[in-house]
Structure 1
């Protein structure tokens, strides 16, 4: 038997085994790298989709609740407080809105609550991290007749949407055919007896990939334009 035939009969040499193992290892690393990149891309896509779904749900909920805003004539003649209101204001933190609505859900039959409520939206910093700001929502159990800045005494606020960079609300004045940055039914020199015909909602959200602020915009109409008189 020749030396070549004898070497083949003995099997692979140590160098050949090491080369084969190195090739297999490189192939496994390449496959694992591709698989890991795919998993990370899928996770990132799912996170972005969940984030966008949350934002869309937030905007849709705001639009639905604002469309249920109303004003009422029903209060004692000597009463100076406004139990029904639509107060859209603008300050250094952005827009905030407080409005009366029929949308409060009574969970218990004998609870001291009403289906009439005041809902409030505003932007504020995270109490534990001032670098983050969130969109908050507050809802009272009944009409209190208090100014928007005093509603915190009656109901806590919870986060409606996290990490919101800006909240901009505009109100369409059908009489003057213009968009307004504020709408105040509690001020005699503003709009004391009427609601805006439309409200534009604009949320600014930072894109997690580009770190640029993207805007989500929608409009809603307010069908209950006439003040309600429950005594008729």
Structure 2
């Protein structure tokens, strides 16, 4: 092979190779593309997480208000008591306490669901809705539901308490008095000076949750009509 041929062959081999600068440019482009792809997937993941969290908050609020409405509609009072007052072991009531942050309502209702076969239970129970501090976070207020499957002489105590909605901002309950036609912030069917043996015509429930879009609160509101306006008194002489 002549000297000219060897020189041409070396040039061809050199032209077919990749310089260090080209390698660095290629790596930089790949890194930029990888960064853009990661950012896109990370943004999609964050958006999906945020939408899922927001959906859970709305679902929790709607579920809480729906359950409160359903069980308020089953509220009742009864005048069926033993002739001997010392033998009284049950007290039906409807009480509502007003508070600046979260109100409380306790009542007897036909709302209990018997889950165990042959259980000595009926559909009568005591139910309460109120706010409680989260045991793990003192700054977090939860809406809880209390249910006692047996009615006793303390309609505002006892039973099992479960969280109904987490991290609430406020829980407000108002009552429409069928006698005066006005809304009131409290109710007590056990006191002669209040609304003795009477149920409200309607209950106005307002629940506000924290953590809405743009960190704004989420408000749920409904008015519940109570069908049973007078105590159960069939077979009871006046």
Map 1:63-82; keep pairs closer than 5 Å: 63-79=69-85
Pick from 184, 195, 199: which aligns with 1:195? Answer: 199
Pick from 100, 119, 122: which aligns with 1:111? Answer: 119
* CA distance in structure 1 between the aligned counterparts of 2:192 and 2:141, rounded to whole angstroms: 33
Q: Once the 2 structures are TM-superposed, how far is the Cα of residue 199 of structure 1 from its aligned partner?
A: 0.6
* Deviation string, structure 1 residues 97-148 (Cα, Å, up to 9, x no partner): 1111111122334433332111011111112321111111111121112242
* Deviation string, structure 1 residues 174-210 (Cα, Å, up to 9, x no partner): 2212111001101101111221111111112112554
Partner of 2:140: 132
Query: Is the 1:93–1:124 contact (alpha carbons within 8 Å) kept by the matching residues of 2?
Result: no
Q: Once the 2 structures are TM-superposed, how far is the Cα of residue 223 of structure 1 from its aligned partner?
A: 0.7
Query: Is the 1:119–1:137 contact (alpha carbons within 8 Å) kept by the matching residues of 2?
Result: yes
* CA distance in structure 1 between the aligned counterparts of 2:155 and 2:46, rounded to whole angstroms: 49
* CA distance in structure 2 between the aligned counterparts of 1:82 and 1:190, rounded to whole angstroms: 20
Pick from 144, 164, 168: which aligns with 1:164? Answer: 168
Query: Is the 2:174–2:185 contact (alpha carbons within 8 Å) kept by the matching residues of 1?
Result: yes
Partner of 2:4: none
Partner of 2:97: 89
**Stretches of structure 1 lacking an aligned partner (at least 5 in a row):** none
* CA distance in structure 2 between the aligned counterparts of 1:109 and 1:46, rounded to whole angstroms: 37
**Stretches of structure 2 lacking an aligned partner (at least 5 in a row):** 1-6
The structure with the larger Rg is 2
For the pair 1:44 / 2:50, whether they are aligned, the reply is: yes
SS of 1:167's partner is strand
Query: Is the 2:103–2:172 contact (alpha carbons within 8 Å) kept by the matching residues of 1?
Result: yes
With the length of structure 1 as denominator, give the TM-score of the two structures: 0.88
Once the two structures are overlaid, the 10-residue window that deviates more, 65-74 or 81-90, is 81-90
* CA distance in structure 2 between the aligned counterparts of 1:84 and 1:26, rounded to whole angstroms: 71
* Deviation string, structure 1 residues 65-109 (Cα, Å, up to 9, x no partner): 001101112112443776111101113552101111111122334
For the pair 1:221 / 2:225, whether they are aligned, the reply is: yes
Paired residues, number: 228
Partner of 2:29: 23
Q: Once the 2 structures are TM-superposed, how far is the Cα of residue 7 of structure 1 from its aligned partner?
A: 7.1
* CA distance in structure 2 between the aligned counterparts of 1:22 and 1:126, rounded to whole angstroms: 50
Moved over 6 A (4+): none
Aligned alpha-carbon RMSD (Å): 2.4
Change (3 A) 1:33 1:108: closer
Query: Is the 2:202–2:223 contact (alpha carbons within 8 Å) kept by the matching residues of 1?
Result: yes
Partner of 2:67: 61
* CA distance in structure 2 between the aligned counterparts of 1:99 and 1:36, rounded to whole angstroms: 49
